[in-house]
Structure 1
Amino acid sequence: MKNRLMVHGALMAYTVLALFPIALILINSVKTLEAIFDDPLALPTMESLTFIGFQKVLASTNFLLYFGNSLLVTLAALFCILLFGAMAAWALSEYRFMGNRVLTLFLALGIMIPIRLGTVSILELMVKLDLVNTLTALVLVYTAQGLPLAVMILSEFMRQVPTELKDAARCDGVGEVSIFFKVVLPLIRPAMATVAVFTMIPAWNDLWFPLILAPSDRTKTVTLGVQQFIGQYVTDWNSVLAALSLAVIPMLILYALFSRQLIRGLTAGAVK
């Protein structure tokens, strides 16, 4: 009982520590500038409550366009990562062919080597393909960034799918494509949710590649759009905190939707 209380206490402390920055942003986004600097930890009162930051963000900027760009890029990259990652994991885990180990090692290197090291080469490639200042460039980069981890996670889960189940489907005349989509994918949904959470957050929060590949006003993402409120000498903190609050809400919603599957995916195989 004592050990259980200690574990729950440690988990609660970590939860508070993780949620504290988000709560601080949300609280200060509806406070006046004076109240933010006077006591950033205090809750808003009737005197300090204001929505001026949200009004500025929504009225004087193209924030909804930036928000839509981030959402489109993140969802498109997530779809490509899950689809192509699952297909590659199925091929590497189910079939034995020449170069199987080499491809696995190549994907492992993709996890260990940051994609930002190839920024110059990526920019040159996008210029040749005429994809600079397009959302397609961001989708391709984020897909390439998330595929190695997705393949590694999904391939391990696919190896745990009973061989008898797949052989029974083949004996019934079910094709390989149908086995993949109708038998294997439903059984690895926790792993898919785990991959989704681990890949969508870096894509949504990224500032590096939007700044380099898509800096135009029509292709800006949320993180890049927030930068316009941060100046060298003056920073509009009400607008910055309001924009960050609007940007963090979708990730909280998506995490809440995937949380149960994420926990199942992380704990799969822990208990036999």
Structure 2
Amino acid sequence: MTKNIGKLSATAFTQLVLALFTLISMFPIVLIIINAFKSRDGIFDNPMALPTSETFSLVGFHKVLDKSPFLHFFENSLIVTVGSLVLILLFAAMAAWALSEYKFKGSRWLAVYLAFGIMVPIRLGTVSILQLAVQFNLVNTLTILVLVYVAQGLPLAIMILSEFMQQIPKELKEAARCDGVGEFKIFFQIILPLIRPAVATVAVFTMVPIWNDLWFPLILAPGEETQTVTLGVQQFIGQYVTDWNAVLASLSLAVAPVLLMYIFASRQLIRGITAGAVK
């Protein structure tokens, strides 16, 4: 009886901590969305209050969608994020398969090299990256952003996927080989479906830093034709005057893709995290 009460108390405490953490994490997002639908006076009078008939206003969304190229910035972010995500998942899955399945001379050193890529921030090489971009005439292009983000996301993605691939029973792969199935079919038809939770986890962890990044778009692609959402929001922030309605409206639109991806991939994400925790 005492053990059951202790377990219930521990579970209740854990749930309480998780609920508090969720509230703290969601509070800034909820605050942004609430104030995005309020007038300027409503924002400054009581930023914590919900929109009312007196304070409700869509002026921020009108300014963002009608008087600025926000949709073009959104399109640029979408192209860069989706392009980077597809290349990262494809190359990381193939590299993880090679590292986990085929043992070759230098494979351990390659794994150490990838771990080194995780520990060292890519921003330390900004000057060199900018020099290469100028040399290859890639400044103010979306291509340079995709290349940088692929290089940034590959090490962590390879390490996560390789750990999951090592847990797949060897008997399953050997049985497929005995049936005459080729390596490409084993990889694409057997391995990838089995590691979907890991792929979803990598996709979420990779998408958020790319979508929210301001550093590389500001340095490598600051032109109006190549600006991303995070960089485009800065046009509403001035040294002396800030259009808070437009800023909050643009931030609300910018956070929507991340929330949608988490909603659709949450089940696979949780399965991937819990599977990694068990290991």
Match of 2:235 among 228, 231, 234: 228
RMSD: 1.0
- Quick one: distance in 2 between partners of 1:124 and 1:47? 53
For structure 2, list consecutive stretches of 5 or more residues without a partner in the other structure.
Answer: 1-7
**Aligned residue number for residue 221 of structure 2:** 214
1:164 aligns to 2:171 (yes or no): yes
TM-aligned CA deviation for residue 128 of structure 1: 1.4
Note the 1:92-241 alignment, pairs <5 A.
92-241=99-248
Q: Which runs of 4+ in 1 moved over 3 A?
A: 269-272
**Aligned residue number for residue 44 of structure 2:** 37
String of CA shifts for 1:162-199, please: whole Å, max 9, x gaps: 10000011111111111111111110000000100100
Count of residues in correspondence between the two structures: 272
Change in 2 beyond 3 A, CA 1:145/1:166 = same
1:82 aligns to 2:89 (yes or no): yes
- Quick one: distance in 2 between partners of 1:67 and 1:175? 41
TM-aligned CA deviation for residue 134 of structure 1: 0.7
TM-aligned CA deviation for residue 269 of structure 1: 5.5
String of CA shifts for 1:118-148, please: whole Å, max 9, x gaps: 0011111111111111111111111110000
Note the 1:14-53 alignment, pairs <5 A.
14-53=21-60
Change in 2 beyond 3 A, CA 1:42/1:150 = same
Secondary structure of the equivalent of 2:240? coil
Change in 2 beyond 3 A, CA 1:270/1:242 = closer
TM-aligned CA deviation for residue 217 of structure 1: 0.7
TM-aligned CA deviation for residue 8 of structure 1: 1.1
TM-score, normalised relative to structure 1: 0.98
- Quick one: distance in 2 between partners of 1:270 and 1:37? 44
Paired residue type of 2:16: G
String of CA shifts for 1:183-216, please: whole Å, max 9, x gaps: 1111000000010010000000000000111111
Question: Bigger shift: 139-148 or 261-270?
Answer: 261-270
For structure 1, list consecutive stretches of 5 or more residues without a partner in the other structure.
Answer: none
TM-score, normalised relative to structure 2: 0.96
Secondary structure of the equivalent of 1:268? helix
- Quick one: distance in 1 between partners of 2:225 and 2:11? 52
Paired residue type of 1:67: F
**Aligned residue number for residue 258 of structure 1:** 265
**Aligned residue number for residue 5 of structure 2:** none
TM-aligned CA deviation for residue 270 of structure 1: 4.7
Secondary structure of the equivalent of 2:181? coil
- Quick one: distance in 2 between partners of 1:24 and 1:270? 32
Identity over aligned pairs, percent: 67
